[in-house]
Structure 1
Amino acid sequence: MKPSVRLFASVAMIAAMAAPASSALAWGAWGHRMVGVVAAESLPSDLPAFLRTPEAAAAIGEYAREPDRWKGSGKVHDTDRDAAHFLDIDDEGRMYGGPKFTLETLPSTRADYEKALTAVGHDSWNAGYLPYSIIDGYQQLVKDFTYWRILQSVSATEKDATRKAYYVADLKRREDLLVRDLGVWAHYVGDASQPLHLSVHYNGWGDYPNPNGYTQSKATHGNFEGPLVKAVAVDADVKALVPAYKDCGCTIEARTVTYLSTTVGFVEPLYKLEKEGGLVATDPRAKAFVDERLAAGATQLRDMVVDAWKASATGKIGYRPEITVDDVTSGKADPWNDLYGKD
């Protein structure tokens, strides 16, 4: 959920607090949980088995809700993190009046992005920085998988009892951390399949040219991503729309820009459907729209996880010098100091 819909969310929260306990947790949670679970259940068999258990899928689904459950932690915490959930792309395809949202013009770091927005009188806390949330989480997952590969190898081959015990325990810690890191990151990948997280028209059409007379209701965002999703979305229906993994042969930056750019294309169809009275649970068009968007999120999450796993095969750990997975599995390098610590 975007911070810009806090007023509506506050009203919804009051209603949720008065509702039965079984429904109180569903607000803003149903879709994120579903994206996480469906993606995890769609992982191919060549990924580590610990990620493909029903327990891992359930945990990923719950962790996918976590960034919304963090809200209200405090001013510093929330101010820094709230903008991680969205990117306001305007009608000219610019990031809140800043650079065009293309692979060629996407600033390479958040610092560069901040400079580009400052030049036009804005900042990333207003414009959002969702692409960087996704790229950051992917890079973390690659590193997690790299450590996992190395720990799995040395846990099986180490002869020293003390070292072996540490490796076995650290492998379990890494698996637990991987599920957590993947699950939390799933939230942002899921956000990116929700059209109203990628547009300046996030809370009603807003103060922009509106020749088609789209709604100005500030309830549209929350109603769409919360109650409507809960009313119509079913895991099996969403999972049926998830295709097999396809290697894009591209960087995470390219995959992210393509994914978010595709989502932007659903902003006006969403408003058109609302104007026609179709954004309600009783209209089959609403279910079709919701299912397709959730499946898009689950598909991208699954594909990005697979990409991260593949990239980790050539990953490195340590510092001056770094060592690779192959260095360890071939016996060329001893990872003890890099895993346990050498200082």
Structure 2
Amino acid sequence: MASFILSQRKKTEKSRVFFKNALNFSLLVFFFLPQSGVNGHWGFWAHKRINRLAVFRLPAEMQVFYKKYIDYLSENAVNADKRRYAVEGEAERHFIDLDVYGESALAVLPKHWKAAVQKMGEDSLRKHGIVPWYVQTAASQLTAALREKNTARILRISADIGHYIADAHVPLHTTRNYNGQLTGQDGIHGFWESRLPELFAEGYDL
């Protein structure tokens, strides 16, 4: 009986450690990106590369799972972009116009969605982008999927959340002047996110 109880305790502890490390795939991508030496929004090629490389930044016990599906995470890193113009409410998950909120958006915007809605109004928030709050939503969804051991859902959310956090690191996804249209630099968005990574990725410190 004692050995059985000890065995169950060990299993519980392993599960606790796993979920502690697995806050979610997005946060791991988040910590990976600042160290990569690459700052900006990404086209299809770069999104796939970011999700793929992020797997190798995971804790060892999570790599066992995610490495088996690394091709899926890479190929499906662009699903969120494919939905942008087909699914209502998708586009606003990719950006936030921080300059709308004055000199310090951090001082103005509440961290949690409900508080932000109460203060700013939902329509206004969605108009100017909701990526920080949607990452929180996706993180909760991923945590639930991990607890349920729902592999298909884990992979789908992991691929998406890597995309959203990559977008959140894009200077051009944090301003109303997202394509240089206000400063006579039309087209700079695509040049930054797609062409530059494709041309110079081999020289990046990844």
Tell me if structure 2 keeps the 8 A contact 1:41–1:57: no
- Match in the other structure for 1:130: 131
- The partner residue of 1:221 within 189, 192, 195 is 189
Distance across 2 between alignment mates of 1:203 and 1:128: 15
- AA aligned opposite 2:160: V
Distance 1:71-1:127 versus aligned 2 partners, 3 A rule: closer
Per the alignment, residue 34 of structure 1 pairs with 49
**Separation in 1, partners of 2:141, 2:162:** 12
Is 1:50 the counterpart of 2:65 in the alignment?
Answer: yes
* Equivalent-residue separation in structure 2 for 1:115 and 1:100 (angstroms): 19
Q: Partners of 2:102 and 2:129 in 1: how far apart?
A: 12
Deviations 1:298-341 (A, max 9, x none): xxxxxxxxxxxxxxxxxxxxxxxxxxxxxxxxxxxxxxxxxxxx
Q: Decide whether aligned partners of structure 1 residues 124 and 132 sit closer, same or farther in structure 2, where only a CA change above 3 A counts.
A: same
Say whether residues 1:81 and 2:90 are aligned partners.
yes
Give the conservation status (yes or no) of the 8 Å contact 2:83–2:90. Answer: no
SS of corresponding position for 1:233:
helix
Structure 2 counterparts to residues 55-74 of structure 1, below 5 A = 56-73=69-86
Distance apart, 1:48 and its partner CA: 5.7
Shift of 1:178: 0.9
CA distance in 2, matches of 1:176, 1:48: 17
Identical columns (%): 24
Q: Give 1:200-219 correspondences, 5 Å limit.
A: 200-204=176-180, 206=182, 215-219=183-187
1:38 positional shift: 0.7
Cα separation, 1, equivalents of 2:133 and 2:187: 27
- Give 5+ residue unaligned stretches, structure 2: 1-41
Per the alignment, residue 120 of structure 2 pairs with 117
Q: What aligned pairs does 1:234-249 form with structure 2 within 5 A after superposition?
A: 234=202, 240-241=205-206
How do 1:1-343 residues align onto structure 2 when only pairs under 5 Å count? 28-47=43-62, 49-53=64-68, 56-73=69-86, 77-78=87-88, 80-90=89-99, 96-97=100-101, 100-102=104-106, 105-118=108-121, 123-148=124-149, 174-204=150-180, 206=182, 215-234=183-202, 240-241=205-206
Per-residue deviation, residues 134-178 of structure 1 (Å, max 9, x unmatched): 111111122222223xxxxxxxxxxxxxxxxxxxxxxxxx12221
Cα contact 1:205–1:216 (8 A) shared by 2: yes
Greater relative contact order (Cα < 8 A, sep 6+): 2
List runs of 5+ in structure 1 lacking aligned partners: 1-26, 91-95, 149-173, 207-214, 242-343
Change (3 A) 1:29 1:48: closer
Change (3 A) 1:61 1:188: same
The separation in 2 between residues aligned to 1:48 and 1:42, in whole angstroms, is: 8
Q: Which amino acid aligns with 1:131?
A: P
Residue correspondences, number = 165
Gap change, CA 1:198 and 1:179, over 3 Å in 2: same
Q: Distance in 1 between matches of 2:152 and 2:163?
A: 18
Give 1 or 2 for the bigger CA radius of gyration: 1
So what's the TM-score if we normalise by structure 1? 0.43
1:263-302 deviation digits (Å, cap 9, x = unpaired): xxxxxxxxxxxxxxxxxxxxxxxxxxxxxxxxxxxxxxxx
Residue pair 1:84, 1:128 contacting (<8 A) in 2 also: yes
Give the CA deviation at 1:108: 4.5
Q: Which amino acid aligns with 1:52?
A: K
Between the aligned partners of 1:142 and 1:233, the Cα distance in structure 2 is: 32
